[in-house]
Amino acid sequence: MVLPLTTRARAKVNLDLRVLGRRADGYHELESLVAFAGVGDTLSLAPDAPLALTLAGSRAEKLAVDKDNLVLRAARALAAARPGLRLGGFHLVKRLPIASGIGGGSADAAAALRLLARLNGIAPADPLLRAVATGVGADVPVCLDSRARLMAGIGERLGPVLRLPPLFALLVNPGVGVETVGVFRMLGLEAGKMLSAARAGSLAAPGSAAELISYLTSTTNDLAAPALRIAPVINEVLERLVALPGCRFARMSGSGATCYALFDDCTVSAAAAKALQREHPDWWIKPTLLG
Domain count, the chain: 2
CATH code at position 188: 3.30.70.890
Co-location of 135 and 9 in the same domain: yes
User: In the prediction, which pLDDT does 204 show?
Assistant: 79
Co-location of 36 and 135 in the same domain: yes
CATH code at position 126: 3.30.230.10
111-149 burial by CB neighbour count: b if 16+ within 10 A, else e? bbbbbbbebeebeeeeeebbebbbbbbbbbbbbbebbbb
- Domain end call among 120, 141, 158: 158
Q: Is the Cα torsion angle 185, 189, 195, 198 positive or negative in sign?
A: positive
Q: How far apart are CA 57 and CA 55, in angstroms?
A: 7
pLDDT in 10s for each residue of the chain, 291 residues? 677 999 999 999 999 999 999 999 999 999 999 999 999 999 999 999 999 999 999 998 888 898 889 999 999 999 999 999 999 999 999 999 999 999 999 999 999 999 999 999 999 999 999 999 999 999 999 999 999 999 999 999 999 999 999 999 999 999 999 999 999 999 999 998 888 777 655 577 788 999 999 999 999 999 999 999 999 999 999 999 999 999 999 999 999 999 999 999 999 999 999 999 999 999 999 999 999
Co-location of 142 and 174 in the same domain: no
Co-location of 187 and 149 in the same domain: no
Co-location of 134 and 243 in the same domain: no
Co-location of 261 and 186 in the same domain: yes
Co-location of 152 and 31 in the same domain: yes
Co-location of 137 and 223 in the same domain: no
User: In the prediction, which pLDDT does 200 show?
Assistant: 54
Co-location of 55 and 79 in the same domain: yes
Co-location of 144 and 199 in the same domain: no
User: 73 is in which domain, residue-wise?
Assistant: 5-158
Q: Looking at this protein, which amino acid is placed at residue 257?
A: A
Co-location of 135 and 15 in the same domain: yes
> Mind telling me the catalytic residues?
12, 139
- Domain end call among 138, 158, 178: 158
One-character DSSP codes across 175-201: S----HHHHHHHH-PPTT-B------S
Question: Which 3 state secondary structure label does DSSP give 150?
Answer: strand
User: In the prediction, which pLDDT does 262 show?
Assistant: 98
- Domain end call among 158, 187, 204: 158
Co-location of 21 and 149 in the same domain: yes
